[in-house]
Homo-oligomer: A and B are copies of this chain.
Amino acid sequence: MATRGEYVYLNGSIVRAEEAAISPFDVGLLRGYAVFDLLQTIGGAPYMLAEHLERLRSSAETLGLTVPLSDAEIESIILEMLGRNAHAEATVRIVLTGGDSPDSMHFDPSTPTFLIVTHELFDVPASFYETGAKLLAVEHRREFPEAKTTNYLTWLRNHARIDSEGALDLLYHDRGVVSEAATASFYVVKDGRILAPGSGVLWGTVGSRVLDLAREVYEVVLCEVTMDDVLGADECFLTSSVRDVVPIVRIDDETIGDGSVGPVTRDLMARYRRHAHGG
């Protein structure tokens, strides 16, 4: 379990977590009306903060919300929190809801709830990188796929099964058309080309960086990706802001390719590691 930061930011103040009181009338709670973004620190510094804040603002706009602070103000708050919370490396979760509502329907977009919390960066099992990970395929269509909303009903409902089957995440498809993993972007490698679901997905911060690196060497195709494409792929991998590039070698009980981590995935893992971590 990740250790939570002792201090959180809520609507103008950095306070101890137990003093941060969300209203019981918040539409983020009563109606699930909220967006967020999540990033990690590398060497103690927020990584790709500008990209994450750009995505947060875009998610907010999709729901008719507005991030109430500038990037510089948010960065300053995060740095102050990281100093106080003293994680080795952290994840930073930035949450924006419609705020307090008089009737659990209407809310004033000019008075949102803006919350930032941090956790110790969690460890991803090394075996996922070394021998590849498993996903569980689930039929699901996100309501606003281009926005990172807080709706993770399907993911959390399946969490016990993810853990018990030793899987890393869910793979979402809508009647066979693949979109993304529940908490990551998802890609297919076939005949040396990289296939990326072209629509109905969240813009991936790390994913787009990995595709940029990939384009130096491989052909990248944005297209419709089906479950047949996945099960007939040479390799699959996912990308995530808190897990980099992870090879996927199994979907449910089906093996991808020969079941080992393929050369394109290995190459992209190494390229991204050098790019992001300089190692």
Contact = CB atoms under 8 A, between A and B. Distances in A.
A126 interface: no
Contact of A22 (B22, B103, B106, B150): B22
Contact of A30 (B3, B36, B102, B160): B36
Contact of A153 (B143, B156, B159): B143
A97 B159 contact: no
A236 to B, nearest CB: 23
Nearest to A150: B32
B29 A26 contact: yes
A21 B30 CA distance: 14
A76 to B, nearest CB: 20
Contacts of A43: none
Copies of this protein in the complex: 2
Nearest to A32: B32
**Which of A26, A117, A156 neighbours the largest number of chain B CB atoms within 10 Å of its CB?**
A156
Interface string A97-111: 110001111100000
Nearest to A62: B157
Nearest to A30: B150
Contacts of A81: none
Interface in A160-191: 160
Contacts of A143: 140, 151, 153-154
A218 interface: no
A279 interface: no
Given A150-B31, A153-B32, A64 B160 contact: yes
A176 B193 CA distance: 37
A122 B106 CA distance: 13
A156 B28 CA distance: 11
Interface in A133-152: 140-141, 143-144, 149-152
B29 A105 contact: no
A120 to B, nearest CB: 9
A33 B152 contact: yes
A17 B25 CA distance: 9
A21 to B, nearest CB: 3
**Which of A21, A31, A115 neighbours the largest number of chain B CB atoms within 10 Å of its CB?**
A31
A93 interface: yes
B28 A24 contact: no
A12 to B, nearest CB: 14
A153 B36 CA distance: 14
A103 B117 contact: no
Given A29-B29, A31-B155, A104-B117, 4 more contacts: A1-B106, A3-B102, A24-B115, A64-B157
